[in-house]
A and B are shown apart, each in its own frame.
Chain A
Amino acid sequence: MRVEVRHLTRVEGHANLVVDVASGELRECRLEIVEAPRFFESLLKGRHYSDVAPIVARVCGVCSNSHTLVSLAATEAAFGVEVSAQTRRLRQLLAYGEILQSHILHLYFLAIPDYLGVTSILPLAKSRRELVTRALRLKKLANDICLAVGGRPVHPVTPCVGGFSALPAAAALQELRRQLVAALPDLEETVDLFATLPIPAFERETEYLSLSPDGGYPLFGSELLSSDGARIPVRDYRLAIEEYLTPHSTAKFARLGRESYMVGPLARVKNAFGQLSPMARQVAAALQLEPGTINPYRNLVARLVEVIHCVEQAIHLVDETLLPGLRREVPVVTARAGVGVAAIEAPRGTLFHAYHYDADGCIESADCVIPTAQNLGNIEADLRALVPQLLDLPRPELTLRLESLVRAYDPCISCSTHLLTVDFA
């Protein structure tokens, strides 16, 4: 059997999925990625540290805040700069704003069409208008968080090495708090909606990687946690994560202790279930998402649980920021030669930046490992396990099932690659 889906829609990027089955046996199954040259590293070479974050903020329209924040953390690690508690809180709030932006878009715009029998959100603007306007209200809330803290809804401008170049007004933060609380009914309706979606049953255990949950639900941090038990200092990520090439793809795949591993919402929920906010834990229970879940389709549900967590935590972060009063702080930065490595939990999983600086504060070399590249091998392994279980399904249903599995990872290949297409061979 040869199935070809030339263009996998509602994912970010371009790839081909090739599945070849002969007499009930899976002969071939691969995700072909067409990756652009590793331009990220070359783009940063020779740049002064003050230019680095504004450049990486443009790498991606979805994860621009994550790229910015991890870039600043890597530079600060290289220069030995400690940031204040206020900066840490505001950066966390900004990161949560971006996770909300990305997750809400994924849930409502990229994933839900699979479950409501439409090809895109457009028909729903007619048939389920309340759903679309609710999605846009939640999206706007997330944009407003990024705008208030980062100075723009996308591609932030206020975060800088050592802190912030401009602070949000206290009134803007109070308004955000009001909006966050006002969003609760929309979130309740979202949970009700997703509780009705028929998430396909499929189980495959793998290795799950995230930042360590020791200081709370993973976001920033200096240690990685693998579900297989390993704890790895972030600065040693290159020793632990092996990137390898396969003949069918120009993208790099990644492995840790096993053949492949998963990063992203489900990995985080599994590794840090006890650190979810009280409301997020309730929603996880309502959606039957348990730490033992090994169904990759349930990344979708994990994403919704994280939405609840981010909203609840954002309210606390605003309070904790306003309570002591916003203080204007002047970042003190002295460039020096050295290496800085940092990681952040971006919407799609752990994102690494590593920079070598010269004594003038200019980049000698840079490295970036994006979540989707880490998930590619795992998506393939899932598909190899899944296809034999679905051979009795009619072709369109089989295709949809495989496509929505790929989409469950919310792959964003544009940081490092172009378009994504799917071919079933």
Chain B
Amino acid sequence: MIGVGNPLAGDDGVGIAVIEELEREGVAPGVEVIDGGTGGLTLLSLMAGARAVLLVDALAMGRAPGSVAGFRYEAGVFRADGAGLSLHQAGLGEVLALAAELGELPELFIVGIEPESLELGQGLSEPVAAALPQAVAAVHEWLAQFPGR
């Protein structure tokens, strides 16, 4: 499970907040919890060797702030023309496209939380902070369903 985002950019840090909560709770053996930050392409080596990966991130889905969605990653879900390929912030789409192109994309699930504000500054907005338990529950739900566990 990899949380991505920047805790200095408001709700962009929600993925890290979820990961920190999971670290506090503890997870089952065989599950690794990783703070991926804004490492961009570093994500490729973080995912390498995993049977399945769950990414937790702030996602602009056009829903109400704090909305939580869990889904299986399919090619084309994110914009990935490669031209914006950048080491951080933007780039999740490109990173996943590159992994798919190289045949190194593990089974991938996303838990996304709709942000309210990505303004620079620490701390989550009220609706996003309130959605943390739901996001953590979505992660547990995925874990429980994951075959072979």
- By a beta-carbon cutoff of 8 Å, the part of chain A in contact with chain B is 7, 9-12, 36-37, 39, 43, 55, 58-62, 64, 101-102, 105, 109-110, 119-123, 125-126, 129, 132-133, 136, 139-140, 143, 152-155, 414
Q: Does B69 contact A (CB under 8 A)?
A: no
Quick check: B88 and A62 within 8 Å, CB to CB? yes
B136 contact set on A, CB distance < 8 A: none
B81 contact set on A, CB distance < 8 A: 120, 122
Quick check: B45 and A61 within 8 Å, CB to CB? no
Additional A-B contact list (4), CB under 8 Å, known A36-B120, A55-B122: A7-B83, A61-B88, A122-B98, A154-B38
A153 contact set on B, CB distance < 8 A: 39, 42, 45-46
Known contacts: A43-B122, A62-B88. The answer to whether A9 contacts B83 by CB under 8 A is yes
- Name the residue among A7, A58, A143, A152 with the largest chain B CB count within 10 angstroms: A58
Quick check: A61 and B89 within 8 Å, CB to CB? yes
A153 to B48, CA, bound (A): 13
Quick check: A143 and B101 within 8 Å, CB to CB? no
Give the total of B residues in contact with A, Cβ under 8 Å.
33
- B12 shortest CB reach to chain A, Å: 10
B85 contact set on A, CB distance < 8 A: 9-10, 109-110, 120-122
Which residues of chain B from 1 to 59 have a CB within 8 Å of any chain A CB?
Answer: 6-8, 35-42, 44-46, 48
| 4 interchain residue pairs of minimum CB distance | A120-B82, A61-B38, A61-B88, A122-B82
A126 to B48, CA, bound (A): 19
- Closest Cβ neighbor of B85 among chain A residues: A120
Known contacts: A61-B39, A140-B45, A154-B38. The answer to whether A414 contacts B89 by CB under 8 A is yes
- Closest Cβ neighbor of A141 among chain B residues: B45
Quick check: A9 and B7 within 8 Å, CB to CB? no
Contact of A37 among B82, B88, B98, B120 (CB under 8 A): B120
- B48 shortest CB reach to chain A, Å: 8
A122 contact set on B, CB distance < 8 A: 80-82, 85, 94, 97-98, 101
Quick check: A125 and B87 within 8 Å, CB to CB? no
A154 contact set on B, CB distance < 8 A: 36-39, 42
- Closest Cβ neighbor of B120 among chain A residues: A39
B39 contact set on A, CB distance < 8 A: 61, 153-155
A305 to B86, CA, bound (A): 23
Contact of A12 among B35, B36, B88, B94 (CB under 8 A): B88
Known contacts: A58-B7, A58-B8, A133-B102. The answer to whether A120 contacts B83 by CB under 8 A is yes
Contact of B37 among A39, A58, A123, A126 (CB under 8 A): A58
27 A-B interface contacts by CB (under 8 A): A37-B120, A58-B6, A58-B8, A61-B6, A61-B37, A61-B40, A61-B89, A62-B88, A101-B42, A109-B85, A120-B81, A120-B85, A120-B94, A121-B82, A122-B85, A122-B94, A122-B101, A125-B101, A132-B102, A139-B41, A143-B42, A153-B42, A153-B46, A154-B38, A155-B35, A155-B38, A155-B39
A59 to B8, CA, bound (A): 7
Quick check: A61 and B87 within 8 Å, CB to CB? yes
B6 contact set on A, CB distance < 8 A: 58, 61
- Closest Cβ neighbor of B81 among chain A residues: A120
B133 contact set on A, CB distance < 8 A: none
A58 contact set on B, CB distance < 8 A: 6-8, 37-38
B86 contact set on A, CB distance < 8 A: 10-12
Interface majority SS on B: helix, strand, loop or mixed? loop
Known contacts: A61-B89, A143-B42, A154-B42. The answer to whether A43 contacts B8 by CB under 8 A is yes
A123 to B83, CA, bound (A): 11
A62 contact set on B, CB distance < 8 A: 40, 87-88
A136 contact set on B, CB distance < 8 A: 44-45, 102
A155 contact set on B, CB distance < 8 A: 35, 37-39
A36 to B87, CA, bound (A): 19
A125 to B39, CA, bound (A): 20
- A128 shortest CB reach to chain B, Å: 12
Quick check: A60 and B88 within 8 Å, CB to CB? yes
A39 contact set on B, CB distance < 8 A: 8, 120-121
- Closest Cβ neighbor of B36 among chain A residues: A154
A319 to B6, CA, bound (A): 35
A9 to B82, CA, bound (A): 9
Known contacts: A10-B83, A58-B7. The answer to whether A109 contacts B42 by CB under 8 A is no
Quick check: A152 and B38 within 8 Å, CB to CB? no
A132 contact set on B, CB distance < 8 A: 98, 102
B36 contact set on A, CB distance < 8 A: 154
- Name the residue among B8, B42, B45 with the largest chain A CB count within 10 angstroms: B42
A154 to B88, CA, bound (A): 11
Known contacts: A60-B88, A62-B88, A154-B39. The answer to whether A139 contacts B45 by CB under 8 A is yes
- Closest Cβ neighbor of A104 among chain B residues: B41
A10 contact set on B, CB distance < 8 A: 83, 85-86
- Closest Cβ neighbor of B39 among chain A residues: A154
A220 to B17, CA, bound (A): 33
A280 to B82, CA, bound (A): 32
Quick check: A129 and B121 within 8 Å, CB to CB? no
Which residues of chain B from 71 to 130 have a CB within 8 Å of any chain A CB?
Answer: 80-89, 94, 97-98, 101-102, 120-122
A102 to B6, CA, bound (A): 18
Quick check: A126 and B101 within 8 Å, CB to CB? yes
